[in-house]
Structure 1
């Protein structure tokens, strides 16, 4: 009987420990930066408006890495690569992290553009969104170029056409973003996209996005931020 009690206590302790480990939401990252032999990789988290270093990885001859960091819920983190040489504009990389197992593979020469992630549904949805959003960005750059050219040899009719093209593009981007966020309310990427891409859209759209969030997402970091943002907008009306 005594042995049974001891065994039962041990099992309960094991279950309790496992539960605590799961609740801690640890993120285990493995990856490879092809071509990197020397350098340091910083894992950063945005707190308020400042990037704070969560952890770091030193590379000495092996481009593969592995790291576990505490993460209680899905959140956008950043990787900053210190190459140990000259600085590069291709040193920073954002990704939508999730508790559990994630893999990151990229290349030293194309740190940002070659990055591939697995293990995060939020990241996959973010990439899907950015594929279309990139087209809006490219179209916007084209419009900006036309606007600058017109300023050099101003034509009022041409300027009016450029302004209308911009308004049409902005409307398309906003509607696409609002629809994407509304249809993916069970993932934390939805309120994040709303806040980062269309925070100044009509409140009606933001209300719709918020109403589509699942209870879990609604109480997440970005869910709470979106609800607070909507509240502030309404108070300032």
Structure 2
């Protein structure tokens, strides 16, 4: 009798674990080298506030696993709780999408050394960030030149520096718009439009909007972009 009860309990536990593993449409696995004790949080932005979707407690292992359900691809955050540490390198932004995503990094360079696989939108986002970072570097150089010029550096022209900054900004905006347009079949397109070029001329945003596939248009960022564009058109028509 005891053997029968034990077998039944074991089967119940196994089924329970199996069901838990199958929950949701997004499986996130990963390894944070050097971080074996502490908490991880999977978060998302909800109405401008970070909300925890899952809390993972690590105790003796650096690997982790999380099962979530998301309606469509969206940006999530992996936050590592270092306890008393004041490090600002705690939050890792990644473009999640239904399926399996793996995140490998280390505790010392949590953000810089992160390798994220399994998401096409993440792939595109990383490619986009590489080019944008080059624009940012050029912008910083021009700002530094401006500061030195104001301190009396020779061969400095405020007018010329301003022209260069405006040209660079225009180039950056056009690159972002073209990247979104080229990838209008992915959720990265409305995301870029909403976060990086929301104040661009409507004609450019409208072109991106019309180029989105039906699936992308129905996604979280697709709907937000549609709503934003509608409101902005109405505002500018007044």
Counterparts in 2 of 1:204 and 1:25: CA distance versus 1, 3 Å: farther
**Quick one: distance in 2 between partners of 1:212 and 1:129?**
19
**Quick one: distance in 1 between partners of 2:182 and 2:100?**
26
Shift of 1:217: 0.5
Contact map agreement 1:43 1:77 (CA 8 A) in 2: yes
How does 1:117-128 map onto structure 2 within 5 Å?
117-128=116-127
Moved runs in structure 1, 4+ residues, more than 3 A? 154-157
**Quick one: distance in 2 between partners of 1:219 and 1:25?**
20
1:69 is the counterpart of 2:68:
yes
**Quick one: distance in 2 between partners of 1:137 and 1:191?**
21
TM-score, normalised relative to structure 1: 0.87
Shift of 1:152: 2.5
Tell which deviates more after alignment, 116-125 or 157-166: 157-166
Tell which deviates more after alignment, 227-236 or 201-210: 227-236
Equivalent position of 1:150 in the other structure: 149
How does 1:7-46 map onto structure 2 within 5 Å?
26-46=25-45
Question: What root-mean-square deviation, in Å, do the aligned CA atoms of Structure 1 and Structure 2 show?
Answer: 1.9
Equivalent position of 2:101 in the other structure: 102
Equivalent position of 1:12 in the other structure: none
SS at match of 2:54: strand
Equivalent position of 2:218 in the other structure: 219
**Quick one: distance in 1 between partners of 2:134 and 2:156?**
26
SS at match of 2:157: helix
Can you give the 5+ residue segments of structure 2 that lack an aligned partner in the other structure? 1-21
Shift of 1:151: 2.5
Contact map agreement 2:24 2:67 (CA 8 A) in 1: no
**Quick one: distance in 2 between partners of 1:179 and 1:53?**
34
SS at match of 2:207: helix
1:80 is the counterpart of 2:79:
yes
1:172 is the counterpart of 2:174:
no
**Quick one: distance in 2 between partners of 1:54 and 1:201?**
33
Equivalent position of 1:195 in the other structure: 194
Please list the CA deviations of residues 182-215 of structure 1 after superposition, one character each: whole Å capped at 9, or x if unmatched. 0111100110011111110111110010011000
